Amino acid sequence: MKATVYNRYGPPDVLQIRDVEKPVPKDNEVLIEIRAASVNPLDWRLMRGKPLFARLMTGGLRKPKITRPGVDVAGHVEAVGRNVTQFKPGDEVFGVCRGAFAEYACVIEDKLAPKPTNLSFEDAAAVPVAAITALRGLRDKGRIQRGHKVLVDGASGGVGTFAVQIAKSFGAEVTAVCSTRNVDTARSIGADHVIDYTREDFTQSGQRYDLILAANAYHSIFDYRRALSQDGIYVMAGGGGVQILQTMLLGPLLSLIGSKKMRFFIANMNKKDLIFLKDLLEAGKVVPVIDRRYPLSDVAEALRYLEEGHAQGKVVITVEHGNDT
């Protein structure tokens, strides 16, 4: 089978499409014929081995230990391990795995769910990492409630486009922060208010929010804190290196002063949340926003584009198979 492989850290040029052995599922795994995958900032961070934290996380200090990129996946079940009970060959599924930029991959049963019936493979592959991050940030870390004033900073990327829609599905009043070219999209996915960050700095406006989810944080932690209501919660998913350090180091200390909370988190991917999202997707409350599609042969181009930091929604990899008509 064809798979994307890299053996040294570096820019997208380190990626190669190679012929490799088709994997065999372990007892708790499902072998998937991949129809689509999607790219996440995690993919280019692991490929570059930057920041150093990305190397420490995977244990590959000098050379990458993870050599097959790609996490988000959607496709058909081709075979199942002997302990797998919830899937059978032919099922359409989506979830997270290692080595999704390939024709086949083995996926742990608990990281998969049935594909939403109303979604294409491409749309389904856009969902897992970005939408679960948005969901966990809003619901678990941010304690979102109906009627809350929620602001999503970085509302136009993968995490942000899901966050706006998921926050609306919880009954929040949502403000999306994005640049001028994304204002219409933010409105079209349900934002009640849109702030163009090239024209207005929401942290200086005097407006206060019950929950701020920074999909991409580019303000200081003190600015975010100022924009919170009395008992407000700030949750950071991603953004600049300085902002991540600030939130990891200062967040717990600032949370001890007064009643505002400042949190950074790493989302854990699981079947329960995939199924929660499947229901939202099938109800039409959340619709993936796809920016671009690339064939498997152009994974390097897809990562190059995502790394520029201005994707409008998700970037998807489509995988053709010899038996496709």
Which residues of the chain form contacts with ligand NAP (CB under 6 A)? 40-42, 129-130, 133, 153-154, 156-160, 177-179, 182, 197, 215-216, 218, 237-239, 265-267, 306, 309-312
How near is the Cβ of 270 to ligand NAP at its closest, in Å?
A: 13
How near is the Cβ of 315 to ligand NAP at its closest, in Å?
A: 8
109 alpha-carbon distance from chain centroid: 20
Which C-beta is closer to ligand NAP: that of 254 or that of 303? Answer: 303
Beta strands (DSSP E) in the chain are 2-5, 16-19, 29-39, 72-80, 92-96, 104-108, 112-114, 149-153, 173-178, 193-196, 209-214, 228-236, 261-264, 290-295, 314-318
Which C-beta is closer to ligand NAP: that of 58 or that of 83? Answer: 58
Give the three-class secondary structure for 175: strand
Which C-beta is closer to ligand NAP: that of 87 or that of 305? Answer: 305
How near is the Cβ of 150 to ligand NAP at its closest, in Å?
A: 15
Which C-beta is closer to ligand NAP: that of 52 or that of 266? Answer: 266
- How far is Cα 210 from Cα 28, in angstroms, rounded to an integer? 42
Which C-beta is closer to ligand NAP: that of 33 or that of 153? Answer: 153
Contact (Cβ atoms closer than 8 angstroms) between residue 101 and residue 299: yes
- How far is Cα 279 from Cα 274, in angstroms, rounded to an integer? 9
How near is the Cβ of 291 to ligand NAP at its closest, in Å?
A: 8
How near is the Cβ of 194 to ligand NAP at its closest, in Å?
A: 11
72 alpha-carbon distance from chain centroid: 8
Which C-beta is closer to ligand NAP: that of 216 or that of 246? Answer: 216
Q: Is the dihedral of CA 154, 159, 165, 169 positive or negative?
A: negative
Two structure tokens written together for 243:
């902002």
Residue length of the chain: 325
Which C-beta is closer to ligand NAP: that of 142 or that of 238? Answer: 238
- How far is Cα 126 from Cα 111, in angstroms, rounded to an integer? 15
